[in-house]
Amino acid sequence: MLIILSPVLLLIAIIVRLDSKGEILFKQKRVGKNSKIFYIYKFRTMSDNAQRSIPSNELMSKHVTKMGKYLRKSSLDELPQLINIIKGEMCFIGYRPVIPEETDLILLRKKYKIDEHLPGLTGWAQINGRDSIDTYEKIELEKYYYQNKNILFNIKITLMTIYKVITRECVYY
């Protein structure tokens, strides 16, 4: 997958570099399986002076670069997470990993054993509201996914993710 996407990844990397100064990849601590901290990778979409320890949906748009707006709306900024998948820190479908400061969500995931699984690039909660749903709704959707997980459900989530990315539904950046 990474080899197939390498021309796209290279093109995005060049555009990010030309768009604004700073690193091409953004790396941030996230909470993964069994509450283990790992670094998630994304294409950088914000200026160098943006605060890094708040959820992305709370960032003020003035920090997002011109190219960053497009990358976020298209979800192309997430492609470097294929590195996290290769490293075994994430999988394609699961709950989205959060920053360590999101303690309420982390504790609920631990309580319901959701964090016993790898976080994912996409998931049932992602396609059913993303950042527009509250913590408890997110937990209910994540519990539902793990109680009903099977190959057909994963195919449905994959197809719905592609649809949501193309239509930019539930993307607010």
Q: Where do the structural domains in the chain lie, given as residue ranges?
A: 2-167
Q: Tokens 């790898």 map to which residue?
A: 118
Task: Report the Cα–Cα distance between both ends of the chain, in Å, rounded.
Answer: 27
Per-residue pLDDT of the chain (173 residues; tens, 9 = 90+): 778 888 999 999 999 999 988 999 999 999 999 999 999 999 999 987 665 555 555 555 678 999 999 999 888 999 999 999 999 999 999 999 999 999 999 999 999 999 999 999 999 999 998 778 999 999 999 999 999 999 999 999 999 999 988 887 655 44
For position 173, what pLDDT does the model report? 47
The amino acid occupying position 106 is I
For position 98, what pLDDT does the model report? 96
For position 2, what pLDDT does the model report? 72
What token pair was written down for 144?
Answer: 């539902």
Residue 141 backbone phi and psi in degrees, to 5: -65, -40
Residues sharing a CB contact under 8 Å with residue 57, sequence separation 6 or more, in sequence order:
131, 172, 173
For position 15, what pLDDT does the model report? 94
The amino acid occupying position 124 is W
pTM recorded for the entire structure: 0.86
By DSSP bridging, strand 25-31 and strand 120-122 are unpaired
